[in-house]
Amino acid sequence: MAAVAYRHPGRAHRRLIMPHGPENNKPNEDKQREERAGVTEIASGAEQLKCLIRQSKSTVFFGGAGVSTESGIPDFRSPAGLYAAKRIYGHTPEELLSHSVFVREPELFFRYYKKNLIAEEAKPNAAHIALASLERQGLLSTVITQNIDGLHRAAGSKNVLELHGSNWRQYCVQCGASYSLHYILDETHCKEGVVPVCEKCGGIVRPDVVLYGERLQDAVIHAAAKAIACTQLLIVGGTSLRVYPAAGLLGCFEGRHLVLINQSETPADARAQLIIRDAIGKVLANAV
């Protein structure tokens, strides 16, 4: 069940709409009434968000893995993902997706990467589609994403800053030649069917993504920081705000309204004017 909190900028007071709080949690509540209350609650948060978007002179969206999970892409950092990585590969996801493992054990890296981080069949969900619609209407200036699946672009968003890169771009580490995702998935282009090699120089072809132990691209992080610093309304969705340095971007925000759409608490909750704890696709679709 969703929870919606709203705090007026500059005031300490926060109004919390929780139809299933202790005062309303009666054992014999009618199930249909509960469901209707949930719909009203979600609509209430989405309506407030809709008003904020239309009142704002500039709006930026900053999203994480929770945006993509609604497209069926699992979060490899989840407890299930961590357990599976340790059981099958003997390492944590962070270790498997590190620069050091890529250099020392490229076969191990690509076995994990191809199996767990590529979702060719995934399609944009309601959140991606809503954000693209807001951009077309001139109501959203920038999408900043920590995801590497390319679904924001697939949905039609144009101004997308991919902090961690994209699976859909691949390149040779030796000569810099560019390749498609399909190239590295074709076993005929891979050493022993696993490690993709460049057809021009024989170097390893790697994903254009930021691995653990690597720096984010300066141009991208600077553009993201500038977008956040200059916007009036910042919508943050589907992220725990615990993965750095990306999470540190919130420190650049000096605008009027911070909105959080996330199923669980985040370190930024105390700063937010509006918090909606529900599925991000449902919320954004109702806010368009």
Q: Does 222 qualify as catalytic in the annotation?
A: no
Contact between residue 96 and residue 85 where contact means Cβ atoms under 8 Å apart: yes
User: Which residue shows structure tokens 């000569």?
Assistant: 175
Q: What is 45-110 written as a DSSP string?
A: HHHHHHHHHHH-S-EEEEE-HHHHHTTT---TTSHHHHHHHHHHHSS-HHHHTBHHHHHH-HHHHH
Residues 6+ apart with CB under 8 A from 265: none
The CA distance from 231 to 249, in Å, is: 13
CB 144 within 8 A of CB 228: yes
Catalytic residue among 128, 152, 164, 257: 164
Contacts of 274 (CB under 8 A, 6+ apart): 4, 5, 6, 7, 45, 48, 49, 52, 257, 258, 259, 260
Report residue 143: phi and psi, to 5°: -110, 125
Residue type, 169: R
Which residues are known catalytic residues?
Answer: 164
